[in-house]
Amino acid sequence: MAKEFRRYLVTSALPYANGPVHIGHLAGVYIPSDIYTRYLRLKGCDVISVCGSDEHGVPITIKARREGVTPQEIVDRYHELIKRSFERLGMSFDIYSRTSSPTHAVTASEFFRKLYDEGKFIERTSMQFYDEEAQTFLADRYITGTCPRCGNDRAYGDQCEKCGSTLSPDELVDPRSAVSGAVPVKRETRHWYLPLDRYEEFLREWILDGHKEWRANVYGQCKSWLDGGLQPRAVSRDLDWGIPVPVEGAEGKVLYVWFDAPIGYISATKDLTPDWEKYWKSGDTKMVHFIGKDNIVFHCIVFPAMLKAHGGYILPENVPANEFLNLEGEKISTSRNWAVWLHEYLDEFPGKEDVLRYVLCASAPEAKDNDFTWKDFQARNNNELVAVLGNFV
């Protein structure tokens, strides 16, 4: 028998505030999220939709360094651009927050501190890459090199964007610092880790036995991770941009963005309503995360393990993740500027917001990667909206 819910909490993946939003983001996450939220509102349901800018990622510090400005200037610029673009498109978020907000800093710090005080973390000293020229430890994204799987010579220390493989910096061939270009050396550093292996049995039961209705791509990726055996995951980083680790002796360390960012859903809800707890801590609330497929592991494995470790929070009932949208047969690439940027589309096609929404719905990459072409855009506008729908009206 289907469970009855009194209210709904809809979250949309927090876009990185290091660049504008493009059509791939819209098709993968934001338009599906908006459709679901509007549907629930039309039914008269108690629903809130939360989103916001993820402002503590390493790509932000890299961009700031390249432009010779502060990370705060970068996030302020792109937070406003993204927020305004969503408003112009007609997205119906109840709040569009940001992870640089005071509420978020307090919420994330308190979340970490509770787990720390209860002994939920393990502390490890390890050898990590260090840039002697820049005199800084290098987070995964600050290390580039050749992918051992596909040979792409511009892979990052956490992921190869060409073949999609998840990597560690130690796997890269000929690693280099993205800061100075120097060959990094190994130095000792101390960090805190969330022992995901301790939650493996819980996650296996909760997902593999309890959520067989999840989309095949989500369920399959979760099963693959669980079958491979979970490992402790770092929740801190050696960086000067982010939320400081709230522990004595942790100077120069911040919360790792993948620990910090999902807590942004909680802090956004806090900023939205004093009744935030009924959306996060009541068993009769249904929480749904809308994400892209590259975020599955964080929303289905890492964040639920964090919530379980903390206690008192509900877990997501569903995590619909779309596949990727390509552009004219090629993968969308922000580094190569191969994208249709939302703010530019809105400037070029005033009053045509719903045309874009319609086309991205009609060719949504729900079960497999799909392709956006301007020829198809034109055909759907002229043949389906103007001719079929226009004549019907």
How do residues 90-137 score in pLDDT, each as one tens digit?
Answer: 999 999 999 999 999 999 999 999 999 999 999 999 899 999 988 888
- Give the span between the Cα atoms of 207 and 306, in whole angstroms: 15
Q: Is the pLDDT of residue 312 over 90?
A: yes
Which of 40, 52, 111, 93 has the alpha carbon at shortest distance from 286? 40
Q: What is the pLDDT of residue 302?
A: 97
> What is the per-residue pLDDT for 62?
81
Cβ(126)–Cβ(188) below 8 Å: yes
Q: Please, are residues 318 and 40 in contact by the beta-carbon 8 Å criterion? A: no
**Residue 335 pLDDT > 80, yes or no?**
no
Give the DSSP H or E segment for 237: strand 236-238
Show the domains of the chain with their CATH numbers.
7-118+258-388 (3.40.50.620), 122-191 (2.170.220.10)
Mean pLDDT of the chain: 94
Q: Are 247 and 32 spatial neighbours (Cβ–Cβ below 8 Å)? A: no
Residue 131: which H helix or E strand, with range?
strand 122-131
pLDDT given for residue 4 in this prediction: 85
Tens digits of residue pLDDT in 278-299: 999 999 999 999 999 989 999 9
The residue with tokens 């509102």 is 41
pLDDT in tens, 152-196: 998 999 888 788 778 889 999 999 998 889 999 999 999 999 999
With residues binned 3-state (H G I as helix, E B as strand, rest as coil), the percentages for the chain, rounded to 5, are 45, 20, 35
Residue 9 β-bridge partners = 48, 287
Residue 60 pLDDT more than 60?
A: yes
Quote the CA–CA distance of 245 and 309 in Å, as a whole number.
18
Q: How confident is the model at residue 1 (pLDDT cuts 50, 70, 90)?
A: low
Which residue's structure tokens are 């360094």?
65
Higher pLDDT, 60 or 359: 359
Which pLDDT belongs to residue 35? 97
Using 50, 70 and 90 to split pLDDT, how confident is the model at 139?
Answer: confident
**Tokens 């001719």 — which residue?**
387
Show the tokens assigned to 243.
Answer: 């939320």
Burial of 310 (0-12, 13-18, 19+ CB in 10 A): middle
Helix (H) / strand (E) element for 103: namely helix 102-117
Under 8 Å between Cβ of 89 and 357: yes
Query: How many Cβ atoms sit within 10 Å of the Cβ of residue 88?
Result: 15
